[in-house]
């Protein structure tokens, strides 16, 4: 992202504030609005200017928008906004006032016939420069108090080392209505699962079935990276001879850059609609919509379109890159593809491969990974903990990063220790935590590059 316009000489806060508000459990639960353009309904029927009015409160602007079959992806001056019929996802960086947009979002939804909040989530990595944040974002306690004043059934958590990399999460129980109305009680989160050394081999059979998307499942992977290598950072600083290209057409420049460094190869190009933007004098953002099911958009009860979003702050001293994706992925392709029918889903990368592709682009010195996945309707007993979705994700995290992060192309010699890739480093895990919440499970891990 670009440096702050109000203080160009100061550091820019790359780590984002991530707000997600659900007004129904699925698009199928949203009343259909007749006579709307392009068949959009629910929150997608809201005019763009209405969202911009809300973003004026947050202190950011819409740069462009991609309209998909199930989701609209807005690229912002500070990160992204995703709108589905039943939920809004607002991700903003810098000194934006993310939470101040909540009351306006609730009013927009109410005016659209969605007066009740099903669930609310708010999360962020620890800030690099918390003293530069305006209220209520200067400290976690103030953010929690602000949200508690709106939602009567929220819970706040700190995951990870208080004196190191940690991740902050606020979530409400399902079926929130208002402070003056009753809300359904949710289950109490379980204790963090301690790291266990599991020597049994990973059974990847039928993993695709275990982690496939249905109307009730939610899946989000985040890769939050700091201390990017000089090679990776330099790509996001246009040289003097090309700076005019960024200023004249930042979208075209960003798409060329996306292709040159491998972002367009993260998912199959034919399934991807990419929107990207290069900032002056430096920085990069992109949104992509992924059609992972061929019948996406035909049935509101069976979703088939997801997104990924990338944001890069390349300045040395506070370099940062984030990758977020809600396309459900199997942890590993081994034996899983046998149960996958030919088509879009068969071409989606597994979790291990995707992590390696992302890390190879940004070459971070340290990184935090989180997988947040709904667990309603699945078993979470101790007997099957070794094969739970989050434990399988933890193994995928480790497998992706503790062997050389080289090229995954068939012609590459990584397996023989002779990779022809420019980046072929190994990481060590510094923290691992699994958490069980009411209806959601979390896999959290941190890694640092081995020297």
Q: How many residues does the chain have?
A: 451
Nearest of 387, 396, 416 to residue 355 by alpha carbon: 396
Between CA 103 and CA 314 the distance in angstroms is: 33
Element of type H or E holding 358: helix 351-362
Nearest of 316, 258, 307, 314 to residue 281 by alpha carbon: 314
Task: Please say whether the beta carbons of 189 and 436 come within 8 A.
Answer: yes
391 is catalytic: no
Between CA 56 and CA 443 the distance in angstroms is: 34
93 is catalytic: yes
Kindly report the CA angle at 230 between 236 and 307, in degrees rounded to 5?
45
Nearest of 19, 178, 197, 154 to residue 97 by alpha carbon: 19
125: Cβ contacts below 8 Å, ≥ 6 apart = 15, 16, 165, 166, 167, 168, 224, 368
Between CA 392 and CA 331 the distance in angstroms is: 6
Three-class SS of residue 31? coil
253 is catalytic: no
Q: Which member of 60, 93, 325, 407 is catalytic?
A: 93
Cis status of the peptide bond prior to 281, with omega within 30 of 0: yes
Q: Which member of 16, 222, 324, 391 is catalytic?
A: 16
DSSP 8-state secondary structure symbol assigned to residue 432: E
Q: Which residues of 206-237 are buried (b: 16+ CB within 10 A; e: fewer)?
A: ebbebbbbeeebbbbbbbbbbbbbeebbebbe
Q: Which member of 137, 208, 253, 311 is catalytic?
A: 311
Task: Please say whether the beta carbons of 398 and 405 come within 8 A.
Answer: no
Nearest of 107, 27, 448, 63 to residue 254 by alpha carbon: 63
Sheet holding 219-228, edge to edge: 272-278, 284-291, 305-313, 320-325, 219-228, 364-374, 440-449, 427-436
Q: Which member of 13, 324, 391, 448 is catalytic?
A: 13
Q: Which member of 278, 285, 319, 322 is catalytic?
A: 285
Q: Which member of 20, 70, 78, 79 is catalytic?
A: 79
Catalytic residue ranges: 13, 16, 79, 93, 285, 311
């Amino acid at each position: 992202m670009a440096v702050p316009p109000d203080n160009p000489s100061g550091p820019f806060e790359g780590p984002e504030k991530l707000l997600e508000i659900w007004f129904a459990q699925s698009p199928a639960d949203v009343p259909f609005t007749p006579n709307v353009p392009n068949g959009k309904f629910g929150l997608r029927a809201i005019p763009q200017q209405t969202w911009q009015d809300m973003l004026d409160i947050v202190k950011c602007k819409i740069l462009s928008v991609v309209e998909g079959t199930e989701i609209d992806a807005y690229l912002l001056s500070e990160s992204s906004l995703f709108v589905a019929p039943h939920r809004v996802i607002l991700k903003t960086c810098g000194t934006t006032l993310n939470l101040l947009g909540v009351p306006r979002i609730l009013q927009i939804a109410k005016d659209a016939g969605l007066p009740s909040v099903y669930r609310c989530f708010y999360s962020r990595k620890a800030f690099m420069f918390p003293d530069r944040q305006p209220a209520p974002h200067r400290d976690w306690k103030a953010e929690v108090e602000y949200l508690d004043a709106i939602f009567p059934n929220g819970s706040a958590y700190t995951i990870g080392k208080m004196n190191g990399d940690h991740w902050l999460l606020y979530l409400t129980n399902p079926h929130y209505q208002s402070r003056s109305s009753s809300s359904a009680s949710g289950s109490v989160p379980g204790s963090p699962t301690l790291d266990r050394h599991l020597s049994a081999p990973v059974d990847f059979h039928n993993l695709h079935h275990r982690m496939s998307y249905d109307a009730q499942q939610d899946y989000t992977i985040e890769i939050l990276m700091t201390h990017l290598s000089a090679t990776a950072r330099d790509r996001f600083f246009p040289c003097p001879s090309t700076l005019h290209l960024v200023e004249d057409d930042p979208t075209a420049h960003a798409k060329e850059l996306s292709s040159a460094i491998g972002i367009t190869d993260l998912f199959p190009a034919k399934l991807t609609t990419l929107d990207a933007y290069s900032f002056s004098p430096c920085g990069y953002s992109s949104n992509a919509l992924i059609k992972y099911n061929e019948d996406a958009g035909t049935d509101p009860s069976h979703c088939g379109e997801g997104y990924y979003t990338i944001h890069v702050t390349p300045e040395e001293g506070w370099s940062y890159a984030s990758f977020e994706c809600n396309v459900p992925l199997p942890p590993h392709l081994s034996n899983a593809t046998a149960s996958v029918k030919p088509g879009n889903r068969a071409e989606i990368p597994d979790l291990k491969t995707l992590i390696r592709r992302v890390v190879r682009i940004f070459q971070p010195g340290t990184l935090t990974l989180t997988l947040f996945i709904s667990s309603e309707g699945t078993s979470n007993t101790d007997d099957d903990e070794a094969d739970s979705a989050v434990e399988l994700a933890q193994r995928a995290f480790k497998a992706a990063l503790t062997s050389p992060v080289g090229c995954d192309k068939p012609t590459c010699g990584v397996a023989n220790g002779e990779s022809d890739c420019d980046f072929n480093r190994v990481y060590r895990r510094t923290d691992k935590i699994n958490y069980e919440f009411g209806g959601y499970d979390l896999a959290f891990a941190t890694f640092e590059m081995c020297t």
